[in-house]
Amino acid sequence: MSIKHWPAQERPREKLAGRGAQALSDAELLAIFLGSGVRGEDAVSRARRLLQAHGSLRGLLQALGGPPARRLQGLGAVAACRLQAAAELGNRCLQQGLERGEALTDPGSASRLFVARLRPLGNEAFAVAFLDSRHRLIAFEVLFQGTIDGAEVHPRVVVQRCLERNAAAVLVGHNHPSGVAEPSAADRHLTLRLRDALALVDVRLLDHLVVGDGPPVSMAARGWV
């Protein structure tokens, strides 16, 4: 049965208009982006099938990959571009809120920024939040990208970008696509190398966050910075 024949309060668009986006399931939100179903399958059923095939919204966005948006079975090019655009809008909204002057001294603000930018990625990536002397965000950059289980990070490049950005402090972070956020021995060693290299140019490393499933792990909170 087509969605237009559903009770009005159960249709995704009407439900969003009447109760807000937070009232919708993942499948219902995705159905709004899809816009329509296919023969013999309404948009919500199509959305559920896509989510089941990829495990979650995160899995679906990871499967889309970077530019250009990949073609996935059951998801057309237009819908794929819309989903990537929606994810990027959310990322930019979060970052612009911080750019208006919020200091990243609050661990929660820093965690939200790194989670939003790194958790959706299917490969490991290393990012830097460049801060001024009052720990307000100057810029956020993904500096290195690697494979599903590693990314090569060069402290020299991080130092160079700090000087170009005139940063007084930085927060760094990387993701573990496996979902397990526990830092490895290599992660801890890299943190110390970065701390020492940045100290030579009077830039303070405030934290190194590891993003997986659940809350990120803060190396500063563990006394490793």
Same domain for 78 and 183, yes or no, is: no
Judge whether 149 and 186 are in contact, CB under 8 Å.
no
Amino acid letter, residue 113:
L
Query: How far apart, in Å, are the Cα atoms of 94 and each of 88, 117, 187, 206, 219?
Result: 10, 10, 26, 20, 23
Non-local (6+) Cβ contacts of 100 within 8 A are none
Non-local (6+) Cβ contacts of 174 within 8 A are 118, 124, 125, 126, 127, 151, 153, 187, 208, 209, 210, 211
CB atoms within 10 A of CB 207: 23
Same domain for 105 and 71, yes or no, is: no
Same domain for 153 and 211, yes or no, is: yes
The verdict on residue 95 lying in a domain is no
**What range defines the domain where residue 48 resides?**
3-88
Instruction: Fill in the DSSP letter of residue 67.
Output: S
40: region left, alpha or beta (phi > 0 left; psi from -120 to 50 alpha): left
Same domain for 126 and 209, yes or no, is: yes
Q: Checking DSSP bridges between strand 137-145 and strand 125-131, what pairing results, if any?
A: antiparallel
The verdict on residue 223 lying in a domain is no
The verdict on residue 96 lying in a domain is no
106 versus 56: the higher-pLDDT residue is: 56
Separation of alpha carbons 147 and 118, rounded Å: 13
Total residue length of the chain: 225
Same domain for 122 and 180, yes or no, is: yes
Helix (H, G, I), strand (E, B) or coil at 214: coil
Final residue of a structural domain among 44, 62, 88: 88
pLDDT at residue number 77: 75
The verdict on residue 225 lying in a domain is no
CB atoms within 10 A of CB 121: 21
Listed in sequence order, the DSSP H helices in the chain are 12-19, 26-34, 43-54, 57-64, 77-99, 107-118, 155-165, 185-199
| Structure tokens given for 164 | 């170009």
Same domain for 109 and 45, yes or no, is: no
The verdict on residue 159 lying in a domain is yes
78-87, 105-114, 179-188: which range is least confident on average?
78-87
Q: How many domains does the chain have?
A: 2
Same domain for 21 and 54, yes or no, is: yes
81-90, 91-100, 169-178, 209-218: which range is least confident on average?
91-100
Same domain for 82 and 110, yes or no, is: no
Judge whether 122 and 65 are in contact, CB under 8 Å.
yes
The verdict on residue 181 lying in a domain is yes
- The distance of Cα 48 from the centroid of its chain, to the nearest Å, equals 22
Same domain for 37 and 63, yes or no, is: yes
Of 112, 78, 108, whose CA–CA distance to 93 is shortest? 112
Same domain for 106 and 84, yes or no, is: no
Same domain for 111 and 188, yes or no, is: yes
Percent of the chain with pLDDT over 70: 84
CATH code: domain of residue 118: 3.40.140.10
Final residue of a structural domain among 63, 88, 113: 88
The verdict on residue 93 lying in a domain is no
Angle between helices 57-64 and 26-34 (to 10 degrees): 40
The verdict on residue 183 lying in a domain is yes
Residues 80-99: pLDDT tens digits? 777 777 777 776 766 665 55
Final residue of a structural domain among 88, 111, 136: 88
Instruction: Report residue 100's pLDDT band, with 50, 70 and 90 as the boundaries.
Output: very low
Same domain for 49 and 105, yes or no, is: no
